[in-house]
């Protein structure tokens, strides 16, 4: 932009506060970024920061990945219209076909369809409508701590963040997600059995259209469920004539060491939603399911720029980059590096070590739970202050569920970059634990 002001980082952030709507700000520190490359972000003043968030996984293959940039630029220059509403174009057709081939659902490949949307929010919205349409039922079972969207119907079935004027869906039943990371609870086997029994009870009267679940609950605290959880949901939904909808928006597409996170259990869902990393920073989402659920009613999920060629081209490039499994395998290795580093820190005697409770996750979806020393009491304020100090220290990481720092860097991050980012974050935890971040420093950043 030729006439962009030559402002400082502080000036850009101040201008944001007086121009960008507050309803779309989820802020933890005064983050302003002018550019990005791979796993490194650069502020307007030229300060380089390691990104351990990948924009909540939305830039999962790294900022400005050259293959994605080339695909989007080609589509932008060709410009074959703006959507798939009243006509189609090759990139939309190829993307839909690629998704139907790669995402296994209960319908055979030739009877699958892909809805192309803008974000996980609308993909989950359409999934809910599809489940209700095909079953003729209204009920939805979802899980406490789950997050399925920031607006409308998908927000109304989210167990984590039903706020801001959005009320719970009247036909929603929330069930506790099996959190095996609470040492004072029953065994994983007992917890799993209790969770599945609650789902079974909700399904029993035949009024439930679908069970909606994240294979790893990210914003709810990076919770990996016990083995058999998804398989148990699959068996129960099949027996009661409900659909199993798996929300892969945040943890899918290579992040957990599998192409999709639910592949760890080998289950086959009825509907799968994707988003965030699918466009690597461009707005695109997808829902894959049976034609019987997604072909009718015609023209019932309309947004003017859905299936736009630029986002579709970017998504195709992302799928091609994931095809050989190299990035997923790297995510598994790097995840082990991250957990070993954090656990090593927790076993030491630095100021922040005693505040580390559980370290959990799978692949490059890692959570650091912060607690009061010697207790299991959540230390939400410490997580907020650590994130704030991290930004000053040259790293981006955000809290989830109040007291869990989430580590979700681009899958393309190098081992050295990951190590440097973690060291900066753990130094920020030390600083926060020593009282170097004041309450007033974080007061302006309400977070969740």
Residue pLDDT, tens place only, 242-280: 999 999 999 999 999 999 999 999 999 999 999 999 999
Helical ranges in 55-187 per DSSP H = 66-78, 90-102, 120-135, 152-156
- In this structure, the answer to whether residues 79 and 51 fall within a common structural domain is no
Closest CA to 365 of 262, 200, 280, 252: 252
In DSSP notation, 357-386 reads EEEEEETTEEEEEEB-TTS--B-HHHHHHH
pTM of the model: 0.96
β pairing state of 208-213 and 139-144: parallel
Contact 177, 195 (CB under 8 A): yes
CATH number assigned to the domain comprising residue 335: 3.90.1150.10
- In this structure, the answer to whether residues 163 and 292 fall within a common structural domain is yes
Considering 322, 347, 375, which residue would you say is the last residue of a domain? 322
- In this structure, the answer to whether residues 317 and 368 fall within a common structural domain is no
Q: What is the pLDDT of residue 448?
A: 76
- In this structure, the answer to whether residues 357 and 400 fall within a common structural domain is yes
Residue 2 domain flag = no
Considering 304, 322, 340, which residue would you say is the last residue of a domain? 322
What is the spatial distance between Cα 246 and Cα 252, in angstroms, rounded to a whole number? 10
What is the spatial distance between Cα 174 and Cα 168, in angstroms, rounded to a whole number? 10
pLDDT tens digit sequence for 166-210: 789 999 999 999 998 876 667 889 999 999 999 999 999 999 999
Q: What is the pLDDT of residue 160?
A: 78
| Total number of domains constituting the chain | 2
- Answer yes or no: is pLDDT of 164 > 80: no
- In this structure, the answer to whether residues 71 and 101 fall within a common structural domain is yes
What is the spatial distance between Cα 357 and Cα 377, in angstroms, rounded to a whole number? 9
pLDDT tens digit sequence for 391-412: 999 999 999 989 999 999 999 9
Q: Give residue 293's domain range.
A: 67-322
Tokens standing for residue 361: 């996750």
* 279-315: burial string, b at 16+ Cβ within 10 Å, e else: bbbbbbbbbbbbeebbeeeeeebeeebbbbbbbbbbb
Q: What is the pLDDT of residue 34?
A: 97
Active site residue 147: yes
Closest CA to 37 of 68, 9, 10: 68
Tokens standing for residue 435: 């009282």
pLDDT tens digit sequence for 293-344: 999 999 899 899 999 999 999 999 999 999 999 999 999 999 999 999 999 9
pLDDT tens digit sequence for 22-48: 989 999 999 999 999 999 999 999 999
Residue 297 domain flag = yes
Residues of the chain with pLDDT > 90: what percent?
A: 90
- In this structure, the answer to whether residues 314 and 188 fall within a common structural domain is yes
The residue behind tokens 């490039």 is: 317
- In this structure, the answer to whether residues 293 and 418 fall within a common structural domain is no
- Answer yes or no: is pLDDT of 87 > 70: yes
pLDDT tens digit sequence for 212-238: 999 999 999 999 999 999 999 999 999
Q: Of these residues, 115, 147, 177, 181, which one is catalytic? A: 147
Helical ranges in 204-228 per DSSP H = none
């Amino acid at each position: 932009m030729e006439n962009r002001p030559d402002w400082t980082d502080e000036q850009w952030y101040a201008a944001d506060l007086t121009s960008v709507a507050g309803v779309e700000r989820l802020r933890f520190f005064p983050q302003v970024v002018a550019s990005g490359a791979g796993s490194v972000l650069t502020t307007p003043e030229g300060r380089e920061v390691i990104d351990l968030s990948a924009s909540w996984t939305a830039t999962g293959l790294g900022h400005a990945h050259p293959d994605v940039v080339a695909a989007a630029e080609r589509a932008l220059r060709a410009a074959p219209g703006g959507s798939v509403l009243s006509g189609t174009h090759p990139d939309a057709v190829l993307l839909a076909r690629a998704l139907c081939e790669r995402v296994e659902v209960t319908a055979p490949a030739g009877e699958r369809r892909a809805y192309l949307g803008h974000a996980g929010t609308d993909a989950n919205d359409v999934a809910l409508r599809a489940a209700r349409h095909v079953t003729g039922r209204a009920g939805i079972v979802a899980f406490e701590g789950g997050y399925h969207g920031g607006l409308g119907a998908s927000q109304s079935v989210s167990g984590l963040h039903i706020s801001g004027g959005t009320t719970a869906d009247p036909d929603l039943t929330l069930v506790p997600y099996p959190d095996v990371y609470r040492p004072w609870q029953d065994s994983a086997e007992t917890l799993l059995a209790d969770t599945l029994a609650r789902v079974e009870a909700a399904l029993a009267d035949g009024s439930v259209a679908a069970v909606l679940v994240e294979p790893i609950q990210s914003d709810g605290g990076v919770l990996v469920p016990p083995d058999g959880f998804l398989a148990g949901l699959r068996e129960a939904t099949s027996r009661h004539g409900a659909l199993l909808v798996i929300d892969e928006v945040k943890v899918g597409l290579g992040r957990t060491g599998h192409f999709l996170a639910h592949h760890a259990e080998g289950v086959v869902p009825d509907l799968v939603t994707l988003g965030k990393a699918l466009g690597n920073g461009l707005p695109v989402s997808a829902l894959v399911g049976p034609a019987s659920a997604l072909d009718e009613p015609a023209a019932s999920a309309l947004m003017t720029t859905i299936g736009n060629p630029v986002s579709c081209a970017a998504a195709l490039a992302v799928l091609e980059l994931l095809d050989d499994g190299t990035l997923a395998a790297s995510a598994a290795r790097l995840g082990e590096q991250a957990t070993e580093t954090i656990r090593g820190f927790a076993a030491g005697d630095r100021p922040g070590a005693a505040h580390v409770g559980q370290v959990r996750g799978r692949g490059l979806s890692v959570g650091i739970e912060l607690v009061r020393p010697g207790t299991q009491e959540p230390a939400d304020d410490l997580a907020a202050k650590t994130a704030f100090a991290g930004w000053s220290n040259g790293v981006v990481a955000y809290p989830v569920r109040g007291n869990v720092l989430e580590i979700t860097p681009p899958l393309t991050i190098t081992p050295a970059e990951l190590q440097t980012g973690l060291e900066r974050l753990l130094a920020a935890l030390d600083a926060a634990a020593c009282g170097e971040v004041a309450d007033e420093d974080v007061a302006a950043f309400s977070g969740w």
